[in-house]
Each structure stands twice: as C-alpha cells, then as structure tokens.
Amino acid sequence: MAAFGATILDASGLRLDDEEKAFFRDADPFGFILFGRNIESPDQVRALCDEMREAVGRDAVITIDQEGGRVQRLRPPEWSEWRPPLEEIRRAGEQAAEVMHLRSRIMAAELRALGIDSNCAPLVDVITPHTHDFLTDRCYGDDPAEVARIGRAVADGLLEGGVLPVMKHIPGHGRATSDSHLDLPRVEAPLDALTDVDFAPFAALADLPMAMTAHVVYEACDDRPATLSREMVRLMREVIGFDGLLMTDDISMKALSGTPDALARASLDAGCDVVLLCNAPLETRRAVAGAAGRMTAAAHARAESALARRIDPGEVDISALKAKLAQLQ
C-alpha cells in the first residue's frame, strides 16, 4: 500500500464542496480534524465524515478536540456538556481517575456515533505556578504521577470506546508562560527538572498510539521549538520512549515563524510523522500538502500501528454509564 499523505487537514464548512473533494482525493491526507464550524447536527456530522472518507477512499482517522470545558467542539443540546478537566478532577477527589475514565468512555460513544474515531486527549501537561491561563483548567494537576494516572484513565476510556487518543503536548507545555497560539513560549528549566516533572507523564504513557508536539522552546535542549527540533524529537523517542505516531500541533499557530509549507517540511525533517494544519484557506492547504508529500516508511508503519488499535466497541448502555458517573460526581 502506498504511504499516506503526511498531513491531517480540516474542511471549510459543514459539507465538502467539489473542489475540496478533489483536493482531498489528490492529497490523500492521513486523517482529518473537525472544528465548531464543521458541526451543526448529528446527521450532518455523520455525512461530513462519510464524505471525508469517500474522498480518500479509505477509513481515514477523524479527530477532534473534545477535552471538556473551554475546549469542547460538541456541545448541548445534541451532546453532553462537560466541566473543565481540572475542575472535574478537584471535585472528584480520590475518585478522579474513575470519573475521568467514565466521562471519556461516554465521550467516545458520542464521538463514534458520529463517525469520529480519535480525540485530542489526554492532555498531560503538568501545572506549575506559572502555567498560562489558556492551559491551566485543561490540565489534570501538578503532580506528575497523578497526571499520568488520570491520563491513563482518560486514554483507556477512549480506547475502550473505539477512539484513538492523541496525547498532548509532548514533551510538556506546563512551564510555558505564554499562549503558543499567539507567541512562542520559552522554558528555561534545567534538563533534570524537565525530566523529573514535565516529561514524566509522557514517559508513563509512551505506549499510547499518537501524540501531539508542543510549540515550545526548551532552552536546556535546543533553541528551536520542539515541533521543529531534531534534538527534541530524538528526546521524545529515546528519552521519553514514545514510538507512536508523532503529529505536530497546528502549524498555523503564531508560535511558529515561517510560511506554512516551509514549516510543514521543517517539522517532518525534524522527525515528526505527520503535519497538522488547521483553519487555512484551500490554497494554503494545497501548499502544505505538496510540501509534506507522503509519509516516510517509518511514519507509515507507525500510522498503521496506531490505526490497528481502533476497535469496534459494540453496544454500550450510555444511560447506565451516565448514571454511574452522576453518582461519583
């Protein structure tokens, strides 16, 4: 089988037009990502997912950001409303891992019912006193071991529901004092502190199928953001031990400087497997797909390994899961 296109791309609206269908057929992206503009109703989302897969002629992975709280693309009345993860965890106390597992299993059922089979979670960045507000309430805590324990519960709930988790933001965004959507964060902590705290949850969850990079400079290691750094990707592979599919965070974020096509090539040259591009016009998507080309043999093998972990979860009694969750909350 030919290697997939080394991109994950999005759609402009609620359905694909003929130009987008032709583009996706030619670019053959590894997968797709959905945003609020792509979501109107359950039937519409299912139809859009079908069109995406028909365009590439295979069961491509379709992901979404459904963390709960501020970062939640699916919302009431059609879908569940979720508290921010940190609020949920603090309310749950000793039962936090069970609560987060249950809600992830319910999320997975809601996603799979639409044709969505991946979620950009768990977020296992460790809170510090200086964590930027854009991230804090999305985190699971300030203790690396506890963050890893809850991250495992979230990942397991998704996997049990047939949804591939995307662990983020490897190797750790918690020390960043700026929002990488707007600026390039720089972290000055020494390598031993990073290893003991920031990298630790990612190492504990290194067996997960996919991970998303952090657009953060770790000055102890390199002067380039992790997404574009061969040294940081080597660290992710050899020190943290992650051997799954490594995708970039959105390369259109303002943390990165350069044209999208040049950033796509630079991230792949650094060792990332696939480029995520979001919220871009069609001509930019074309340029990035052209620059990214096809996955390397190693990247394609990791992609196939990740896809092999999708399961058919079968029937599940969502009302019973929700009742159990309500008892614990």
Q: Catalytic residues, which ones?
A: 181, 249
Rounded to the nearest 10°, the torsion over CA 319, 321, 327, 329 is: -110
Helix (H, G, I), strand (E, B) or coil at 230: helix
Non-local CB neighbours of 38 within 8 Å, separated by 6+ positions: 10, 11, 13, 14, 45, 48
Tokens representing 185?
């964060």
Non-local CB neighbours of 200 within 8 Å, separated by 6+ positions: 126, 144, 145, 148
The position carrying tokens 């096509």 is 261
Q: Report how far residue 110's alpha carbon sits from residue 121's, in angstroms, rounded to the nearest whole number.
A: 15
DSSP string, 310-321: --------HHHH
Q: Name the pairing type of β-strands 118-119 and 186-187.
A: unpaired
**One-letter identity of residue 94:** E
Q: Name the pairing type of β-strands 66-68 and 71-72.
A: antiparallel
> What residues pair up with 165 in beta bridges, in sequence order?
119
Q: Report how far residue 209's alpha carbon sits from residue 244's, in angstroms, rounded to the nearest whole number.
A: 5
Torsions phi, psi for 29 (to 5 deg): -60, 150
CA distances from 277 to 49, 252, 263, 291 (A): 18, 6, 10, 12
Spatial contact of 32 and 11, defined as CB atoms under 8 Å apart: yes
Task: For Cα atoms 79, 80, 81, give the angle at the middle one, nearest 5 degrees.
Answer: 125
